[in-house]
Amino acid sequence: MIRDFCGISKRRLIDEIDELRTSVAGGRAPLGVQPDTVDAIDDVRKIGNIGAHMEADINVIVDVDPNEAQLLIELVELLFDEWYVARAARTERLAKLKAIAADKKEQKQAPKSGQPLKK
């Protein structure tokens, strides 16, 4: 989602998150991307690192309970809603407004019935 929605592609996820955080702080991030969202994405990365980068003692197992897994799923759903769905709805609403404005402009410029055409 960082690569697709935000257009950030780096070799490592942490580098993508850092660039996204910088973009948000600098006001260059896409609409809908908020600092707390970037923090949540980084939290998921940290949780994932527990399994991806096991400690020296392979006997240490950190359990993930179903509630934690559900929260991770809900973050993805939140990002999908706040980023993709909101962007699509915004684009659609603004396009409708633009169409109305163009129609009103055309109506204003069109001759009224019963009036001669302007030359």
Q: What is the largest CA-CA distance in the chain?
A: 91
Distances (CA, A) of 66 to 32, 69, 70, 72, 110: 28, 5, 6, 10, 64
- pLDDT score, position 9: 98
pLDDT-above-90 percentage for the chain: 70
Quick one: pLDDT band at residue 34, thresholds 50, 70, 90? Answer: very high
What is the distance between the alpha carbons of residues 34 and 4, in angstroms, rounded to a whole number?
16
- pLDDT score, position 57: 67
User: Treating both helix axes as pointing N-terminal to C-terminal, what angle do 66-79 and 35-52 enclose, rounded to 10 degrees?
Assistant: 140
Taking the domains of the chain in order of start, what are their residue ranges?
2-106
Instruction: For residue 74, give the amino acid letter.
Output: E
Lowest mean pLDDT among 33-42, 84-93, 97-106, 108-117: 108-117
What is the distance between the alpha carbons of residues 46 and 52, in angstroms, rounded to a whole number?
10
- pLDDT score, position 8: 98
Instruction: Note the pTM of the prediction, 2 decimals.
Output: 0.77
